[in-house]
Structure 1
Amino acid sequence: MKRWLRSLRPAPVIPDAAWQAVLARYPFLSERPASDVERLRQLSAQFLRDKRFHGAQGFVITDEVALAVATQAVLPVLHLPGDLDWYDDFVGVVVHKSEVVAPRQVMDEAGVVHEYDEVVAGEAMQHGPVMLSWQDVLASSVTQSDGYNVVIHEFAHKIDMRDGLADGCPPLPAGFGGTRGSRAAKAHWNETLSAAYTAFREKTIMAERFGAEAPWLDDYAAESTTEFFAVACEAYFVNRARFGEEFPTLLELFDQFFLGGG
């Protein structure tokens, strides 16, 4: 939806009591400058105006549910040019009570198609809705130290897919990282992210096969650079201090992108 069209409809007013409740439940939202918190409130209201929430299998969308999702969804675009324009390829947000079993198909190198079921807490579809488990959205209120947040994970995928590709590299601004040209910017991003991903994957393998200490970040990040980006975004936004200790090069890279310092 174009920005000028959205502006024709006023954003809802978020009651103070509801706003304070969501800040108290998800402390990583309030652990930032007052100006950011106010901006977060404004964008959350706009998100609630623009998106349509649907409860799956009888789940009821309450004001608490919608506001909890909205505030966490807009956090990654708080300082991005265009803010909510990053999410204009979809309208629907589907919320289930808990995790969902999703059928999958994958073709191996021999061309054989394998079918299996996967338990998912969320899913973001290209040019389609975002699906979330309310159970896991609520869990984000107590998993800050682990760097876990399903809402940020799925909306990070939406940011990644903004250019039509789910490859762990979002569309980058001109001159990102001091580079010249879009190809150089993408190469800089991919080189930095890939190095961190490779090191993380090696730690994960050592932990699984040889009993070494497990890495801090969720091992689902070892699935691919795409998932690594989304999982890293979770940790970056909810536990910046620990993320910086674990991934100093990614902290600098993400700051350049998400904080507009590119």
Structure 2
Amino acid sequence: MFGWLRRRREAPALPDALWRSTLAAYPFLSERSPEDVARLRELAARFLRDKEFHGADGLAITDAIALAIAAQAVLPVLHLGLSWYDDFVGIVVHPGEVVAPRQAMDEVGVVHDWEEPLVGEAMPGGPVMLSWHDVAHASADSGYNVVIHEFAHKIDMRDGASDGCPPMPSKQARQQWLAVLQPQYDAFREKVIVAERFGGEEPWLDPYGAQSIDEFFAVACEAYFVNRQRFTSEFPALVPLFDGFFQPV
């Protein structure tokens, strides 16, 4: 799987047929400008050269699987650069959902154990885990994209904290970011609560974003990159915020 690519210092062009099939499978990639698509192809090749893919639970990593993940993973850093992903190498891909054991101690010292179903997970300074079923079923209509979600977490974690705010150049910039994001998260969380408890209108954005502000950031990034038009109508205040970070001039 792309062994020929990692043996080279310079990433060559990806095979045309494979690249075209990837764009066809994920149309939100090809809907960008020709310059962006060319840059996307270049970064995807470099990503494949530098990262190591591991199939789990019997999944064989094919070139098509690896490129599908790479092309989507580099979209958030298209204008930022691959250095944002230099804190890890491994990407573990499962055929589907994974059930992970969890443990936590509450405020009175009682330890609780439970199992959590996962379709993806990003670990600080460590690998990224993805469900291939969910990667393959990315949807621009719903704004759902597990690859962008987990790599948005990676960007968020660059400053050592998963808090919905990627690294900022100053304390003031951080405060300005959160001054926009926090009220958007609060309003979204309230909408999810009303929908779940009182039968209110279901939100377009994945309700998982109501779990915490860092999950809201990751879920919002999914929609921002795969369905900008709908995202703009739903969250107009977040568009200039995200544009200023992900598309710096």
Please state which band the TM-score falls in when normalised by the shorter chain.
Answer: over 0.9
Task: Tell me, in whole angstroms, the C-alpha distance in 2 between the residues paired with 1:41 and 1:218.
Answer: 28
Secondary structure of the residue that 1:217 maps to in structure 2? coil
Query: Which residue in the other structure is 1:95 paired with?
Result: 93
Counterpart pick for 1:126 among 104, 124, 127 = 124
Q: Which residue of 1 aligns with 2:190?
A: 202
Structure 1 equivalent of residue 165 of structure 2: 169
Structure 1 residue matching 2:208: 3-state secondary structure: helix
Asked if 2 retains the 8 angstrom alpha-carbon contact of 1:123 and 1:132, the reply is yes
**Equivalent residue of 2:74, what SS?**
helix
Q: Extract unaligned runs of 5+ from structure 2.
A: 1-5
What is the rounded CA distance, in whole Å, between the counterparts of 1:247 and 1:113 in structure 2? 39
- The superposition leaves residues 36-66 of structure 1 with CA deviations (integer Å, 9 ceiling, x where unpaired) of 0000000000000000000012210000000
Q: CA deviation at 1:12?
A: 4.0
CA deviation vs aligned residue, 1:90-140 (integer Å, no higher than 9, x gap): 000000011100111122222322111011000000111000010000001
Q: Return the offset for 1:252.
A: 1.1
Count of aligned residue pairs for this structure pair? 244
Structure 1 stretches of 4+ with a deviation exceeding 4 A read: none
The SS at the match of 1:153 is helix
> 1:230: which partner in 2?
218
Q: Using the alignment, how far apart are the partners of 1:237 and 1:106 within structure 2?
A: 34
Q: Secondary structure at the match of 1:103?
A: strand
1:240 to 228, 244, 247: 228
Secondary structure at 2:242 match in 1: helix
Superposition map of 1:1-262 within 5 A: 9-80=9-80, 83-140=81-138, 143-172=139-168, 174=169, 182-261=170-249
> After superposition, what is the alpha-carbon deviation per residue over 1:149-169, rounded to whole angstroms, capped at 9, x for unaligned?
000000000000011111110
Distance in 1, matches of 2:229 and 2:45, equals 28
Task: Tell me the distance in 2 between the aligned counterparts of 1:230 and 1:87.
Answer: 16
Q: Distance in 1 between matches of 2:105 and 2:40?
A: 42
Matches of 2:79 and 2:13 in 1, distance apart?
22
Q: Which runs of 5+ in 1 are unaligned?
A: 1-5, 175-181
Contact map agreement 1:12 1:49 (CA 8 A) in 2: no
Contact 1:28 1:144 (8 Å CA) reproduced? yes
3-state SS of the aligned residue for 1:145? Answer: coil
Give the whole-Å Cα distance in 1 for the aligned partners of 2:246 and 2:67: 22
Q: Distance in 1 between matches of 2:87 and 2:72?
A: 18
